[in-house]
Amino acid sequence: MGDSWGIGAYRYTEYRTIESIPDTGLGFFLQRAGFDVKNISISADSNIHQLDQLKLTLNTESADVIIWFYTEVTRDIIIKQYPGNNFKILVDHAHNFNFDYAQTIYNFTGIPTILIGCLSPVPDVSHYTFTKTVIKSWLDELIDSKYQLPLNLHCNNLKQILDSRIFTDLKFVNDEIDKMLFLETRLENHNSFSDGIHPSKDSYARLAERITCLL
C-alpha cells in the first residue's frame, strides 16, 4: 500500500507527463519470488486514504503482512485540516493520527506491517506494536544522504497549506522548503531513480531481496 512509490518505477512520455513502467515495482518482484501480492497503492494518494482502503480490503481478504510505503504527511494535513499554525506540530499530529489508525487496524486483525519511509521519513514508532520492521527512510538510503532530510519531500502541498495559514515557525518552514528544493535537485539525475522522482527498477529489486528475507 502507498502512493506511486508503492506501484513501481515511472518514466516521462513524449508529452512530458509521467507514466508507470509495468513490472518494475516491489509487488512484481515479490510475485516473481513466489508470494501472493495484492497492491492497493494509488498514485498521489495520502496515508490516510490508504489506511481507509486497507481497512476495507481486510474486511473481505486476509494477509500475512502489510507493506506500507509511507508518503508525504502534507497530503494528510490537507485532508484532515488539523488546526494550528505551527508546521512541526501539524506534522506530529499527522504522524500520530496515521500510526494510531494503523495500530487500531493491527489490534483488530493481528497483521503486522513492514513500514517504509518514502516521501516522508518515519519518526520514532517504538511505542507502537503494529510494525514488524521499520525502514526509517528508504529515500535516504537510496541517495546515501549526508544531509538532514526534510519532513516532507515535495514543496507543492506545503505551499498549498501556506496559502491558507500563517505559520508561527516560519523560519523552520523556510528551512524545510530549502531542504526540499535541494533534495529534489539531487534526485533529478540520481541513478537510483527512474525519472528523478520515483525509484528505479533496480532499486525495487534490491528492496525486494531485503523484504523477502523478512517474510
- Contact of 109 with 190, CB cutoff 8 Å: no
pLDDT of res. 31: 97
State the SS3 of 145-170.
CCCCCCCCCCCHHHHHHHCCCCCCCH
Alpha-carbon gap, residue 25 to 103, rounded angstroms: 26
Task: Find the domain containing 179 and state its range.
Answer: 4-212
pLDDT of res. 139: 94
Per-residue pLDDT of the chain (215 residues; tens, 9 = 90+): 999 999 999 998 877 788 999 999 999 999 999 999 999 999 999 999 999 999 999 999 999 999 999 999 999 999 998 888 999 999 999 999 999 999 999 999 999 999 999 999 999 999 999 999 999 999 999 987 777 788 888 888 888 898 888 899 999 999 999 999 988 888 888 999 998 899 999 999 999 999 999 98
Domain count, the chain: 1
- Contact of 3 with 69, CB cutoff 8 Å: yes
Could you tell me which residues come within 8 angstroms of residue 143 by beta carbon, excluding any fewer than 6 positions away? 183, 186, 187, 190, 192
pLDDT of res. 27: 97
